[in-house]
């Protein structure tokens, strides 16, 4: 019987899907494990917010250098190095909330290491995947983030209960080591790699080779459609990172509900993101290829529907006093935010196909800054509520936490309606 052999590019795409999945298991896992350890040690909410946001400082610092290094020496090597770096950090760092300096350094290292990952993945996929397969390949790779977050929420709280918070670090290190081995064994550069030569950074556009010096930085910075993408990326990640890092605390302290006793329902917000992310891509391609809507209107409709529905779900979230109600609201909010990615997140390829990587880097940096601001600000808001003698089980203590991303969703959706376009504006 003849064996079935997958094309090598399919193997590469699936490995990048697993890569983003493992990365988000690590991010969700840290918030779950650290929340358990910090609550047991009596750490205040402001200090928790500082530790949880430290990751994003390192992440923000390494994305642009990561893209440059990936272009210079190859995304495959950089991806392997970054995985080994954060896996070793998880393996050897003790999860002790009282050793603040050690945790800050460790989270900065993990953030720096993971900041290299997405620029490296896009470099690899640009080399391996033909243009007509890139949309669905990138959609699949991206949805690995949400699948990983769902898997982490399902399994890791029980692991914390059975083996303690430190066990999460051990599992994450093992997963990172396994993926690194798979990548080392099965990943390779394409037969005709288009890597830069001797440090001279070059990429191919529609009219041949261009250097970094030819990139219209001023026009990009002054472009209103680019700012529409940046604003929506900031909002998307503000809401995502606040929920990802603070939902465990909300369940445990706001509702007095144990994550371990919630069963599979706690994974639904991220599983919903996985589903809606792929649905959004299919709907967008259908509307555009069948010429039901123009590219501009397709992006605006999906972005607006996604963000407006998410805003109402976020506003309603603190009104629910049961875990099931909160899970429902969080699932609607994150699911429709993921649907909105078919608007703003793909738009950089519409307006600047030759500079899509540059625009993506700029907007992703804004998204990372949202993590720094949102996660830290949430801790400060909760600590301020405690100082005002409000109990964290009271909805009033959490209302501002969820209303801020809700109003940001409404504001950024109007920005996108007014300023965005699906037409190419950079040659």
DSSP 1-20: -PPP---HHHHHHHHHHHHH
Residue 328 token pair: 């429902």
| Cβ-contact 154, 281 below 8 angstroms | no
The answer, yes or no, to whether residue 62 has pLDDT greater than 80, is yes
Residue 394 pLDDT grade (very low, low, confident, very high; cuts 50, 70, 90): confident
Residue-level pLDDT at 45: 80
The answer, yes or no, to whether residue 202 has pLDDT greater than 70, is no
| Percent of the chain clearing pLDDT 70 (strictly above) | 89
Residue-level pLDDT at 199: 36
Residue 181 token pair: 């081995």
Of the candidate ranges 38-42, 366-370, 387-391, the one whose mean pLDDT is the lowest: 387-391
Pairing of strands 202-205, 208-211: antiparallel
**DSSP label at residue 200:** B
Residue 132 pLDDT grade (very low, low, confident, very high; cuts 50, 70, 90): low
| Cβ-contact 215, 68 below 8 angstroms | no
| Beta-ladder partners of 203 | 210
Domain 1-188 and domain 215-427 have a common topology = yes
Euclidean distance between CA atoms 369 and 58, whole angstroms: 11
Euclidean distance between CA atoms 21 and 41, whole angstroms: 30
Phi, psi of 412 (to 5 degrees): -70, -30
Euclidean distance between CA atoms 216 and 90, whole angstroms: 40
Residue 417 pLDDT grade (very low, low, confident, very high; cuts 50, 70, 90): very high
Q: Which of 200-214, 287-301, 346-360, 389-403 has the highest mean pLDDT?
A: 287-301
Average pLDDT for 158-186: 93
Phi, psi of 361 (to 5 degrees): -60, -40
| Beta-ladder partners of 197 | 200
Residue-level pLDDT at 211: 47
pTM of the model: 0.77
| Cβ-contact 344, 228 below 8 angstroms | yes
Q: Does domain 1-188 have CATH number 1.20.1250.20?
A: yes
Residue-level pLDDT at 203: 43
Residue-level pLDDT at 329: 93
- Any idea how long the chain is? 427
Query: Closest by alpha carbon to 169, among 259, 88, 270?
Result: 88
Residue-level pLDDT at 69: 80
Annotation: CATH topology of 215-427: Growth Hormone; Chain: A; (1.20.1250)
Average pLDDT over all residues of the chain: 84
Per-domain boundaries in the chain: 1-188, 215-427
Average pLDDT for 89-114: 92
Ranges of beta strands (E only) in 64-159 are none
| Cβ-contact 115, 61 below 8 angstroms | yes
Residue-level pLDDT at 207: 38
Backbone dihedral region of 389: left (phi > 0), alpha (psi from -120 to 50 degrees) or beta?
left
Helix ranges (DSSP H) in 164-265: 166-186, 217-221, 224-249
Residue-level pLDDT at 106: 94
């Amino acid at each position: 019987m003849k064996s079935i052999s997958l094309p090598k590019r399919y193997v590469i795409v699936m490995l990048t899907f697993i890569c983003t999945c493992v990365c988000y298991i690590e991010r969700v896992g840290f918030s779950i494990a650290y929340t358990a350890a910090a609550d047991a040690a009596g750490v205040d909410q402001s200090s928790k917010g500082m530790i949880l946001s430290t990751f994003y400082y390192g992440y923000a610092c390494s994305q642009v250098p990561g893209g440059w290094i990936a272009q210079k020496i190859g995304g495959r090597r950089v991806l392997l190095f970054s995985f080994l770096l954060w896996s070793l950090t998880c393996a050897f760092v003790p999860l002790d909330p009282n050793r603040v300096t050690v945790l800050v350094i460790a989270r900065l290292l993990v953030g720096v290491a993971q900041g290299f990952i997405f620029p490296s993945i896009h470099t690899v996929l640009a080399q391996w995947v033909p243009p007509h397969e890139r949309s669905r390949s990138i959609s699949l790779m991206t949805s690995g983030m949400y699948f990983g977050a769902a898997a982490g929420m399902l399994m890791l709280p029980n692991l914390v209960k059975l083996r303690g918070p430190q066990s999460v670090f051990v599992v994450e290190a093992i997963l990172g080591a396994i993926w690194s081995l798979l990548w080392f064994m099965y990943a390779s550069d394409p037969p005709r790699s288009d890597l830069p030569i001797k440090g001279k950074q070059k990429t191919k556009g529609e009219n041949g080779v261009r250097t970094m010096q030819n990139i219209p930085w001023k026009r990009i910075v002054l472009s209103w459609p680019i700012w529409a993408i940046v604003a929506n990326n900031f909002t998307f990640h503000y809401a995502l990172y606040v929920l990802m890092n603070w939902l465990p605390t909300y369940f445990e302290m706001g509702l007095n509900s144990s994550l371990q006793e919630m069963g599979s329902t706690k994974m639904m917000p991220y599983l919903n993101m996985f589903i809606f992310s792929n649905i959004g891509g299919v709907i967008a391609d259908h509307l555009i290829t069948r010429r039901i809507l123009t590219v501009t209107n397709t992006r605006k409709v999906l972005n607006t529907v996604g963000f407006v529905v998410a805003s109402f779900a976020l506003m309603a979230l603190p009104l629910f006093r049961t875990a099931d109600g909160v899970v429902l609201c969080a699932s609607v909010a994150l699911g429709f935010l993921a649907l909105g990615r078919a608007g703003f997140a793909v738009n950089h390829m519409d307006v600047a196909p030759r500079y899509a990587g540059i625009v993506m880097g700029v907007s992703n940096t804004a998204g990372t800054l949202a993590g720094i601001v949102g996660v830290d600000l949430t801790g400060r808001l909760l600590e301020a509520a405690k100082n005002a003698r409000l109990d964290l089980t009271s909805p009033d203590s959490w209302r501002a936490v969820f209303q801020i991303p809700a109003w940001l969703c409404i504001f950024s959706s109007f920005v996108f309606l007014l300023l965005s376009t699906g037409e190419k504006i950079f040659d």
